[in-house]
Amino acid sequence: MTAPLPISLHVNGERVEAQVLPRLNLADFLREHLKLTGTHVGCEHGVCGACTVRVDGEIVRSCLTLAVQTQGSCVETIEGLSDSGEITDLQNAFRERNALQCGFCTPGMLIAAQDLLKHEKEPDRAQIREHLSGNYCRCTGYQAIIDAVEETAGMRRERKP
Ligand code: FES
Ligand code: FES
């Protein structure tokens, strides 16, 4: 039987040390070991985007990332982005625009949208669609999601022209 390996990383700014099996993926590590259940697991093979998190500032599919690959990294989940206030405006826009229904896709959608907004101050609707094209939503029909991201970009430009 394969032995667990020690890993040490930061998750949402806190140091975490754990013993994990080499095959354990990051999504399951976050959900089952750390009880960070805001990271959702849908397809489990890199298609739906529900498991999106940030590792060292870049968005990744946590279902396709092994926990051991994050040794020494800084992982940020929806809980971290939410608690820090980084995406409060985006979350408010999603709520006001009815850009979520069941909410299953929403954590991944928010993290992917924030990734776009960090890199592009004035994204047009085509860019928003393209950037979110790897995040599936079964409920909203996408228009409200695009509206919410576009509105947040506009509000951020007004605050910091
Ligand atoms: Fe990771 Fe679908 S659960 S992409
Ligand atoms: Fe239900 Fe997106 S709000 S899957």
* Side chain identity at residue 102, one-letter code: C
The alpha carbon of 84 and the centre of ligand 2 are apart by a number of angstroms equal to: 24
Domains observed in the chain: 5-81 (3.10.20.30), 87-159 (1.10.150.120)
Nearest to 37 by CA among 107, 112, 90: 107
Beta carbon of 104 within 6 Å of any ligand 2 atom:
yes
Per-10-residue mean pLDDT of the chain, 161 residues long, equals: 94 98 98 98 97 98 98 98 98 97 97 98 98 96 96 95 70
| Atom 1 of ligand 2: nearest residue by CA position | 102
Q: Does the global pTM surpass 0.85?
A: yes
* Contact indicator for 148, 99 with CB cutoff of 8 Å: yes
Find the helix packing angle between 106-119 and 88-96, rounded to 10°: 120
